[in-house]
Amino acid sequence: MTSTPTPAPDSPGGPAEKRGDIHFAAKDAGLRKDVHELGVIVGQLLEDQGGAALFGRVEEARRAAIDAREGDPAGIARLESLVAALSPAESQALIRAFSTYFLAVNLAETVHRIRRRRDYLREGKHRQPGGIEDTLFELKEAGVTLDQVRDALAILHIEPVLTAHPTEPTRRTILRRQQDIVRRLIDMQNTTLSPRELSADLENIRNDITTIWQTEEHPTGARTVAAEHEHVLFFLTDCIYRVMPAVYESMETALEAAWGEAGRAIKLPTVMVRMASWIGGDMVGRSEITARTIRDTLERQRSLVLDLYHQECRDLAEKLSQSTTQVSVSPALEERIRLYSGHFPNARGITPLRHREMPYRVFMRLVLARLQSTYSEGLYPFDSAEELAADLRLIATSLRGNRGLHAGLFAVRRLVRRVESFGFHLMTLDIRQEAIVNRRIVGTHLNEPQWLERSSEYRLVRLRRALAENESPAGDLDNEGKRAVGIFQAIAFCRRRYGMRSIGPYIISMAEGVDDVLSVLLLAEWGELRKHSGTIALDIAPAFETIQGLAGAARLMHELYSEPVYREHLNALRRHQTAMPGVADNNVESDLISARWALLKAQRELLDGARANDVQLTLFHGRGGAIGSGGGKAHVDIRCAPAGGVAGGMRVIEQGELVANKYGVRAIALRAFDQALAAGLRSLIQPGGPPADEGHLDWERALQVMAEGSRGHYQGLVLESPGFSDYYRLATPADVIERMRRGSGPEAGLVDGLLAAAGTAPWVFAWTQSRNILPGWYGFGTGLARALEEFGEEPLQEMHAGWYFFRTLVADVETALAKSDLTIAARYSALGGELHDRFFHRIRDEFERTTAAVLQVKKQVVLLEQSNTLRRSIRLRNPYVDPMSVLQVDLLRRWRLSGDEALFHALIASVNGIARGLQDSG
């Protein structure tokens, strides 16, 4: 006999909830209008492209899902009957129909976010919460001085680190079409447009959506690093590159708004935001990534950024048309023109006669010639991006001194900001490898056959000797050794060619001891990294990715700082160190609350240890963007970090599946940077001394009780229950996802325990697909119930109100609960046969326990009671996601029995469609 969960509100078969009862505030009228118009276009598309049969099936599935959500128990049965009769091709078409609808809805919601931001800016009465202007005013009202803000800005630095999409990157042509749709929806907000112009915009949107429908969304064939790289480069060149100057302009505007002329006089740091990436340098689980991959990745980035600079310099030449008959230029600029005219006589010679008296235009032609020489490796190239920036600053200085403030200075300053931010490498490439791999290579080539079985103390002594004696590898390098040594040779090459910032830290995944760090130093010696620079100026960053690893992180780093060999290395880096405590939320071994609590404690201890050893520590926050962990919000990660957590700069993982949501549209990307910098500034200044959430022993004891109760309950199910790993593979599409080859990302390193049994499918992603999202809440209810019993309701409610860290944790759990649907999840669970009876009732019971505890602490009646927009979005989306979920269950059952490839291709479409519908793929 199978168990069925108690229906939750808005679940199929749950208490009746009519869609007509869903309320839209007046401020959301534009969103409602856009969704309606796009829905009409998608409906017309289905009839045009798929015929009446497809349109009829979609309408039947939609109606059945809505009926089920509104309390009709026959609705879900009708839906199951409908999908069971579909062929693989019909299944794929049905999924594409709903997926296309969500593509349109997601774009409408993106436009609405832009609309709301403009409303805030236009009205002027209320500042947009969480932004830099709002933060500056709050700090000022709290008594913070402008000098304090200036000091904080001087050290404020945020570095988002992009990773590859976990399943299938979208084609560039489709991404461009999506951007076109967004631009047209924004254009339609112009109240001066005529009905004919509005109609033309809608027709163009229809053309774009139809073209998307007729285009294979994801490239066929094996995934390649190059394809992953191109996917991310689209967002970098089309959005991030474009908005970067506006990030600084927004800061300048906000400072002036808060402090007037004194605020406007503040000189911002040269760079507050830099971009980095793992794509092309993350070797964990990726044997195809070699020294050649690293060189090719950075060469592609260099070519792109030089092209971007070349185009902007051409545009500047057109803008800067000042004539010497009307205005002077600075002597320094005249001298630079004479110098470059000698270097590039052809460029000066082909300047049209009518332009000869336009010095800025003449100079830009010469700069273009030098850029071309840099690209083609000719004579007199720019040796660094700083040389290009210096030329541009010459123009800026000349314009300021010659009445050019409103005659091109703005455009010049923007290009200077871009050159300072992106250099000649566009974004920094991190290198990442597992500790065990390096350990194995070093042991082999130190002629130590029992190396892996030796104690870490033995390995440490042996490595010290090898480094002190400059010991060469024993015998010829094997293939693995050649690859490892080649990586360091590539690092040296890339730094010479693209600049020191082109290569980021070398991240040691699953680091366990000081010997893992010294192993990297020895490999760097073998790769002759010291030969080219005199020092091994490489930031070696241990990554702590398990609860045990987090607990021992501070001890390991203290031992590292005390290691004589490493002290010398650290001095060469000006005592700067990066450490990466994170990825804990996605770790199979641990529940959410234990992972977060362990992460916070590790961050505190790492910062304390760095201060004690006079080390400037950069925390690389690897929590990532899983829906189960509240996902992908850099500003939240920054605010959750302990006191001093941003003082050394902060790096934050940006999960590949969320890059499009965050950086796919320029206005949204600007808002993301605005929020991250605001959070960093707040963290640095911390008005009123240490906030109440730091070191509050009663609250910390309560959190410890929660963590212990949650961890025991979670591990009792996930790690200690026989058959659970089999259940996981059967009750989720893990087997499908692991065939959709994963890209670079922090979870790839967690092949341990259950994940080893489960294959390479990402843990949170698979549970999200099954509408369960178990990693985002399981165990939390048990832990919170224990704390409520021991400490009482009122103290925990005060803790929720007063501690941002705990409030964020509860909010993330609440969101995961609200996005979960155990009625749909039960259908996935039933694929597990008798394992369903063994495990699902335990999952259901903890879901109900967690829901009750969250509502009690938040003093709410329903989930998301205080988040009406998100609650409404989930309620509106569910009836359109449900058909894809029910169909995915049916496809899984059929595919696992037959192995039919046509069914598998339909399953791939379902994975991407459900991810799009949930607006988060894990």
User: pLDDT category, 125, cuts 50, 70, 90?
Assistant: low
Q: Which two tokens stand for residue 631?
A: 């996902």
Is the pLDDT score of 761 beyond 50? no
- For the stretch 873-899, pLDDT in tens is 999 999 999 999 999 999 999 999 999
CA of 188: how far to CAs of 34, 102, 109, 110, in Å?
A: 10, 20, 15, 14
Model pTM? 0.92
| pLDDT over 90 at 294, yes or no | yes
Residue 624, pLDDT > 60, answer no
Distance separating alpha carbons of residues 316 and 366, to the nearest angstrom: 12
φ/ψ (deg, to 5) at 222: -65, 140
Residue 582, pLDDT score: 82
Q: What is the DSSP string of 278-296?
A: -TTTB-TT-TT--HHHHHH
Q: What is the pLDDT of residues 175-188, one digit of tens each?
A: 999 999 999 999 99
Percentage of the chain with pLDDT > 90?
79
pLDDT band, very low/low/confident/very high, at 379 (cuts 50, 70, 90): very high
Residue 487: closest CA among 516, 520, 463: 520
Dist. CA 903–CA 909, nearest whole Å: 10
In the structure, how many helices (H) and strands (E) does the chain have?
A: 39, 8
For the chain, report the end-to-end CA distance as a whole number of angstroms.
Answer: 32
Decide if pLDDT at 485 tops 70. Answer: yes
**What does residue 722 show for φ and ψ, rounded to 5 degrees?**
-55, 135
* Partners of 41 in beta bridges: none
* 389 confidence band (pLDDT: 50, 70, 90): very high
- All domains of the chain in start order, with CATH: 8-126+173-215+898-922 (no CATH), 291-422 (1.20.1440.90), 430-538 (no CATH)
CA distance 484 to 332: 48
d(CA 235, CA 230): 9
pLDDT score of 123: 76
Distance of CA 705 to the CA centre of its chain: 31
Which of 582, 621, 626, 600 minimizes the C-alpha distance to 777?
A: 626
User: Averaged over 574-598, what is the pLDDT?
Assistant: 85
Q: Residue 471 — very low, low, confident or very high, per pLDDT cuts 50/70/90?
A: very high
Q: What is the pLDDT of residue 209?
A: 97
Per-residue model confidence (pLDDT) at position 743: 41
- Binned at pLDDT 50, 70 and 90, residue 629 comes out as very low
Q: What is the mean pLDDT of the chain?
A: 90
What confidence tens digit (pLDDT) does each residue in 66-82 have? 999 999 989 999 999 99
Looking at residue 170, its pLDDT comes to: 80
